[in-house]
Structure 1
Amino acid sequence: SVVKCPDCNGYRLKKESLHFKIDNKNIGQVAEMDLIQLQNWLLDLDKKLSTKQKAIAKEILKELRTRVDFLLQVGLGYLNLNRPTRTLSGGEAQRTRLATQIGSKLTGITYILDEPSIGLHSRDNQKLIEALKELTYIGNSVIVVEHDKEIMLQADYLFDLGPGAGKHGGMVTAQGTPKQFIKENGITAEFLSGRKNIDVPLERRKGNKKFIEVEGATGNNLKNINVKFPLGTFICVTGVSGSGKSTLINDTLYPYLRQRLHRSIKKPLPLKKLKGIEYIDKVIEIDQKPIGRTPRSNPATYTGLFTHIRKLFSMIPDAKIRGYNPGRFSFNVKGGRCETCQGSGKMKIEMNFLPDVYVDCETCAGKRYNRETLEILYKGKTISDVLNMTVEEAYYFFEAVPALKRKLKTLLDVGLGYITLGQQATTLSGGEAQRVKLAEELSKKDTGKTLYILDEPTTGLHFEDIKHLINVLNKLVERGNTVLVIEHNMDIIKSADYLVDLGPEGGNEGGKVVYQGITEGILEVKESYTGKYLAEELKSSNEDKSE
């Protein structure tokens, strides 16, 4: 665990450097302010400077205020200057770079952004849209890859690729201005126009009358808060960016439960008490980290499918005659694999000063196995052919094998019918990796006393994928488990049984419980930004239904 340096108190500077102060604040204290506080401090600083100091500081203050303003424009007001860049989410890092570009005032540039709205609350989305538009007003082009409804509807022109994913996609299915686009027949157009929708649940689950209760959480910006999580329900933790959601769940609740249930060594952030641990038997975080770090990992190995497939091939008469056991059909050990590429199917070519390039192995032509292993056929297919099948194809191919069919069905249920069984883990997106993990959990026989934690699972997901995700999460809850999701997406929020809303703002102005209770109750809370945007979402859902 990380502790503050006792000599510099975490400021990273020598005592001599910290001795110099402006308005009784040293540089370390200024760097600890969040950007909203820093902007207010910079605006008030003129009143506290002498005439001579004002003359010296005039241009510096002007530059500082402008730069801070750019960061506020892209919804990063809750960050402080000394925040390590490695702790920034992908969306935050991208918006920081965007703020730099707005400040540069360059023209004639084409900017390409991949999902800049990641981690943004609906309230801050509008700021991001204005920032992107500002780049176009001064003569630049902005291309955005995005699933966010607001950003799509405010674009000048839209392209929709599809119609499906993987081998079922790769074509332009619709294009035009937003007005023209929503009249098209594509699946995205149907969701944008309201012809297709993610329905609001007819009733909210009450749970099993047992709770996990967090008392006196004070980590980072949390203000000594108490929160109750009803077990046996679908819970959503909401709030503007920087309001303390990740601090409460990822840095306090999850590490504490891991310590008590799984003997983890990670220390949680401070809290006075946690009640109700006896009501759950395990806690699982399903994140968007890759399912493996090397090209050898794939969905078949991660979910355990490959173990069953190798056993099946070893039981074929030809394999038995030759004395092949399941290990013969592994590409990770000597025997059946191609020794030139050592079973990876690819050869790495190192490029000086450039990323490494992978090409198909010349000996096995990318098939991973040697000639003898590939002579064993199941229903006319080699083990390499099976790895190249999509989940959908494999489901029908192995229909007569119950163990395989059950696991493949869970991958289909989470909307991953298009990925191949042997697809390299490194080529799966964060959303795909998360759904592979969800499928693995669905295929297990659980006790019904598991707490699942997901942090922004809709990242990188289309409306149709979100619909699949909600169905999967509901399946986990219907088995008696509890699903706890940190989310900004209104489709997930409106589908939850119970909400915990933190805020009211981000940074030091956040960290309080604005609301906790059943989903509809938040609509009555005036200081909740989530409540305001949820009311609009529910209103548009009802209007679409009536039409």
Structure 2
Amino acid sequence: MTISQKRFNGNSRSTVGTISDIYASVRLLWSRIGTPFVGYSDVFSFSSPSGMCKTCEGLGYIEDINLDELLDWDKSLNEGAIDFPSFGPDKERGKVYRDSGLFDNDKKLKDYTQKELDLFLYQEPMKLKNPPKAWRKSAKYVGLIPRFSRIFLGDKEFAKKRYAKHLKNVVTTKVCPTCHGQRFNQKILSCKINGYNISDFTKMTIKENLEFLDQLNQPTAEFIIAPLRKQLEALDFIGLSYLTLDRVTTTLSGGEAQRLKLIRHLNSPLSDLVYIIDEPSIGLHPEDIQKINQILQSLKAKGNTVLIVEHDPDVIKEADHVIDMGPGSGKNGGEITFEGDYQALLQSDTATGDALRKSHQFKSSPRPIKDYYHLGPITRNNLKQVTADIPKHVLTVMTGVAGSGKSTLVKAGFEDDDNTVFVDQKAVQGSSRSNLLTYLGVFDDVRKFFSKHTGLSKAMFSYNSKGACLNCGGKGYIKTELAFMADFSQTCEVCHGKRYKPEVLDATVDGYNIADVLELTVDEGINFFKGHKAIEDALRSLSKTGLNYMALGQPLDTLSGGEIQRVKLSQHLIEPTSDKVYIFDEPTTGLHEEDIPLLLNRFNELIEEGNTVILIEHNLSMMCEADWMIDVGPGPGLDGGQVLFCGRPEDLLETDTLTAKHLKRCISK
């Protein structure tokens, strides 16, 4: 059983209840004893056609398009009347309306007749008669509103995130007038237990759910109630009693998501399994990690083998046996440098042993403070009229238990500031066809470089275009789908995994073909492209974050959590900036303690250039490097949402917050 560090790929239908498998038990309970009796649990799903509210299709809200924001009525199609990035006159989505031949492209929208407006805005898909030459023969014409709705409204989370800034004014959201946000149709909402329908139950906190079950006296349903109670008690045990079952998973913090993954296995009756858990401490405050350790120990106690990939000292010290890999990263690693118990690891001369022995102290000379950003008062989620002061041009670390409101506070405080850069902990949108060079925006420069020196066209040096191996389509492997087993992949026998056509591989510069260059490490790439400023600067920014060992052509979907964070950071180190606010959400995610100084140097570099850096962080080593700290709590959810401390790090030790408790332990060591 493998539990990765990746976040849930959720949408507005993916909730705490569905992802934890608790919702299935809740549906079964209502189908068993709900009044009036219905009998089938499937109808109690807001994703089911028989259970959902038809008005909002089970979303609980409806969205409207503000035409005055989407359109510039004083412009024609040629002038860019559709005022949205992906619908511009030079974009594929915008060209559709100009190329259709249905409109006068120089006529301003305000001069359209009602018939023309209806055709432009509301027309359902239709085949064009005698279409212009520019029109694709197989394409159908669709009005702007149904087309825009299909792309951006409803459950289209990725599209919404990508264009969030532009959608903010174009799309308005309001509670569904039919179900009033409850997602279900009236028949389902009329089925109640002790006066509560299923939506009422999912909107309660886990703590309130348990109190509700304690009041049930239904012997015939005890076989449902008992396991449901166990599932809820597991969430309560792990410190998530403040969550509600209808909470959308995309709104969860990293620590909340990580604990939800683990909790699904806590009540499992299975034994003699091997659990491989990748960094269970991600997103967790030191106080939360104590509960995680209890879960890991309970899995072992059931007769399972638990293998943990981890960097956090508080998790490592719980191990019965430690295997340390190294000595470096990438090509410089891959060896077992230590095996033994924790006490022996402390005495070893490995990088991990050195990090565990290291003592921590606060900065002797924190940066002076001259001015502040004044946030608030902010009321959002669990924050109620909260204010905070964040100094300009220094390093601020925001702390507090997972779910206390840290991210909400800083996001809400800077959401309208165009000079703010927010680097979150989510994976980059990558695939096996995208690599480090494409993400940094310099793969085009590399292709131009090879084209200039070899005489082949630039497109030939793309494995997604003309240069792709004809046998594997530029993938480098052949995938065989098997009906009753996992898919099988093998290296392409034509290009041998190189991805390119033979004539492309024969074209070399200084003895290297394009495939050879993609196999170079970042440091080797810097030497190869010396003097080519755009490429060299991008690679140096990667090297500065400690990614000098990575291959230039490494697919983005193979990066670890720590590598992803540093790739994102490196983007902002290519070109010098000033007077910006950089907010990093848990930048030490996936990093070994020895990697943190490299990351810290980059933050200091940004500050020296005149920027402000804010870290949302749980790592005690990084807290010790702060010029200013803000501690949020005291607990998660409704028990949090307060600024407990705002000031110099050493003054935090005078308080009795949970962060202070663990920071004192770190400093005294």
Fold-level similarity (TM above 0.5): yes
Query: Does structure 2 retain, via aligned residues, the 8 Å contact 1:290–1:430?
Result: yes
For 1:216, the equivalent position in structure 2 comes to 377
Query: Does structure 2 retain, via aligned residues, the 8 Å contact 1:220–1:247?
Result: yes
Give 5+ residue unaligned stretches, structure 2: 1-171
What letter corresponds to residue 367 of structure 1 in structure 2?
K
CA distance in 2, matches of 1:537, 1:37: 36
Query: Does structure 1 retain, via aligned residues, the 8 Å contact 2:254–2:284?
Result: no
Q: Deviation per CA, 1:124-174, whole angstroms, max 9, x where unpaired?
A: 111111122122233322211111110100111111111112222222111
Cα shift at 1:88? 4.3
CA distance in 1, matches of 2:222, 2:470: 69
Call closer, same or farther: CA 1:218–1:376 in 2, change over 3 Å.
same
Instruction: Tell me the secondary structure at the aligned position of residue 524 of structure 1.
Output: coil
Call closer, same or farther: CA 1:69–1:205 in 2, change over 3 Å.
same
Instruction: Tell me the secondary structure at the aligned position of residue 101 of structure 1.
Output: coil
Cα shift at 1:309? 3.0
Call closer, same or farther: CA 1:310–1:16 in 2, change over 3 Å.
closer
Map 1:304-453; keep pairs closer than 5 Å: 304-316=441-453, 319=454, 323-334=455-466, 336-352=467-483, 356-399=487-530, 401-446=532-577, 448-453=578-583
- Match among 363, 375, 395 for residue 201 of structure 1: 363
Query: Does structure 1 retain, via aligned residues, the 8 Å contact 2:286–2:618?
Result: yes
Query: Does structure 2 retain, via aligned residues, the 8 Å contact 1:70–1:99?
Result: yes
Cα shift at 1:111? 2.2
Call closer, same or farther: CA 1:210–1:99 in 2, change over 3 Å.
closer
What letter corresponds to residue 286 of structure 1 in structure 2?
V
Identical residues among aligned pairs (%): 40
Map 1:431-510; keep pairs closer than 5 Å: 431-446=562-577, 448-510=578-640
What letter corresponds to residue 424 of structure 2 in structure 1?
D
Q: Deviation per CA, 1:504-534, whole angstroms, max 9, x where unpaired?
A: 11111111111122222222222x2112211
Q: Deviation per CA, 1:334-374, whole angstroms, max 9, x where unpaired?
A: 2x443444444334434446665544333322223333333
For 2:401, the equivalent position in structure 1 comes to 240
For 1:273, the equivalent position in structure 2 comes to none
CA distance in 2, matches of 1:4, 1:71: 29
Query: Does structure 2 retain, via aligned residues, the 8 Å contact 1:112–1:144?
Result: yes
TM-score, length-normalised on structure 2?
Answer: 0.68
Query: Does structure 1 retain, via aligned residues, the 8 Å contact 2:361–2:667?
Result: no
For 1:537, the equivalent position in structure 2 comes to 666
For 2:92, the equivalent position in structure 1 comes to none
CA distance in 1, matches of 2:193, 2:275: 38
CA distance in 1, matches of 2:602, 2:312: 21
Instruction: Tell me the secondary structure at the aligned position of residue 384 of structure 2.
Output: coil
RMSD over aligned CA atoms reads: 2.9
Call closer, same or farther: CA 1:57–1:347 in 2, change over 3 Å.
closer
CA distance in 1, matches of 2:428, 2:232: 38
Instruction: Tell me the secondary structure at the aligned position of residue 189 of structure 1.
Output: helix
Instruction: Tell me the secondary structure at the aligned position of residue 224 of structure 1.
Output: strand
CA distance in 2, matches of 1:288, 1:301: 20
Call closer, same or farther: CA 1:166–1:352 in 2, change over 3 Å.
farther
Call closer, same or farther: CA 1:376–1:503 in 2, change over 3 Å.
same
Cα shift at 1:388? 0.7
Cα shift at 1:23? 7.6
Instruction: Tell me the secondary structure at the aligned position of residue 366 of structure 1.
Output: coil
CA distance in 2, matches of 1:219, 1:488: 22
Map 1:38-57; keep pairs closer than 5 Å: 38-39=209-210, 41=211, 53=217
For 1:256, the equivalent position in structure 2 comes to 416
CA distance in 2, matches of 1:217, 1:300: 40
Query: Does structure 2 retain, via aligned residues, the 8 Å contact 1:75–1:128?
Result: no
What letter corresponds to residue 465 of structure 2 in structure 1?
V
Instruction: Tell me the secondary structure at the aligned position of residue 442 of structure 1.
Output: coil
Give 5+ residue unaligned stretches, structure 1: 262-281, 541-547
CA distance in 1, matches of 2:270, 2:195: 38
Query: Does structure 1 retain, via aligned residues, the 8 Å contact 2:362–2:649?
Result: no
Cα shift at 1:473? 1.5
Query: Does structure 1 retain, via aligned residues, the 8 Å contact 2:360–2:666?
Result: no
CA distance in 2, matches of 1:228, 1:191: 33
Instruction: Tell me the secondary structure at the aligned position of residue 324 of structure 2.
Output: strand
Cα shift at 1:330? 3.2
CA distance in 1, matches of 2:342, 2:472: 49
Query: Does structure 2 retain, via aligned residues, the 8 Å contact 1:73–1:131?
Result: no
Query: Does structure 2 retain, via aligned residues, the 8 Å contact 1:76–1:92?
Result: yes
What letter corresponds to residue 204 of structure 1 in structure 2?
P
Instruction: Tell me the secondary structure at the aligned position of residue 469 of structure 2.
Output: coil
Q: Deviation per CA, 1:474-505, whole angstroms, max 9, x where unpaired?
A: 21112111122222111222222222221111
CA distance in 2, matches of 1:192, 1:65: 40
Q: Deviation per CA, 1:216-273, whole angstroms, max 9, x where unpaired?
A: 31111111211222221222222111111232234x245433xxx3xxxxxxxxxxxx
Query: Does structure 2 retain, via aligned residues, the 8 Å contact 1:35–1:78?
Result: yes
For 2:183, the equivalent position in structure 1 comes to 12
Q: Higher relative CO (CA 8 A, sep ≥ 6), structure 1 or 2?
A: 1
Cα shift at 1:419? 0.9
- Which deviates more, 73-82 or 116-125? 73-82
Query: Does structure 2 retain, via aligned residues, the 8 Å contact 1:292–1:298?
Result: no
Query: Does structure 2 retain, via aligned residues, the 8 Å contact 1:73–1:128?
Result: no
Query: Does structure 1 retain, via aligned residues, the 8 Å contact 2:362–2:650?
Result: no
CA distance in 2, matches of 1:535, 1:150: 15
What letter corresponds to residue 403 of structure 2 in structure 1?
G
CA distance in 2, matches of 1:206, 1:157: 46
For 2:238, the equivalent position in structure 1 comes to 74
* Count of aligned pairs between the two proteins: 498
